[in-house]
Amino acid sequence: MDLTTFLIQCLNSVQYGLLLFLIASGLTLIFGIMGVINLAHGSFYMIGAYLAFTLSSLTGNFVAALLLGIALAVLFGYLLEWCFFSFLYEREHLQQVLLTYGLILVIEEMRSILVGDDVHGVPVPDWLSGGIAIGNDMTYPVYRLFISGVCVLLAAAMYAALKKTRVGMMVRAGATNREMVQSLGINISLLYRIVFAIGVAIAVLAGMIAAPVSSVYPGMGGSVLI
């Protein structure tokens, strides 16, 4: 293997690792702060990929599809926590596992009914379709660098939000002692609902930005978390 090929493989590895970090950060946010074991997190990633395919086809603009998809993901996560996950905080982990596994089955069946079982592709936006020359005759896709940049920026934003803001302080306090935070007059249920919605939105965003390089296919949420 020559040096150019080795460098490209290293860049691909970094990009994929950052994407996995983005997926895992949403999972960690939900489990680490709320204490809920969410087996359906990979399904949220798959939803993101299918949203990228559907919304980019409807709008014809990848950025508009991203923004609309994130907004829908936040709403979906908020309603999902309100309807189901809000009843799990005082339950055993086995009951959390059973509910979230059931969600996987429901989401997979809904995906099959709504969009079918075919494999789809999402085109890379024209402004990100170029490549950077590496060596004499090889290029590295700009879109993969875009994915890495989005992951790094989001990681920095999450760190700043959790460590440097008042809301982040309340979230960390709620994770440590839920009853004490409630006694201080903070609506911990609403706070958890927002945290869950953000965790879902992060997974959906990961699926949306990964769609142009990984295709969109049934069961992709399970394969990425294995």
Residue 135 has pLDDT above 80, yes or no: no
Is pLDDT at 125 greater than 60 in this prediction?
Answer: yes
Give the relative orientation of helices 41-59 and 62-83 as an angle to the nearest 10 degrees: 140
pLDDT score for 1: 61
Residue 221 and residue 44 in contact, taking contact as beta carbons nearer than 8 Å: yes
- The C-alpha atoms of residue 226 and residue 24 are separated, in whole angstroms, by 12
Rounded distance between C-alpha atoms, residue 224 and residue 80, angstroms:
22
pTM of the model: 0.89
pLDDT at 122: 86
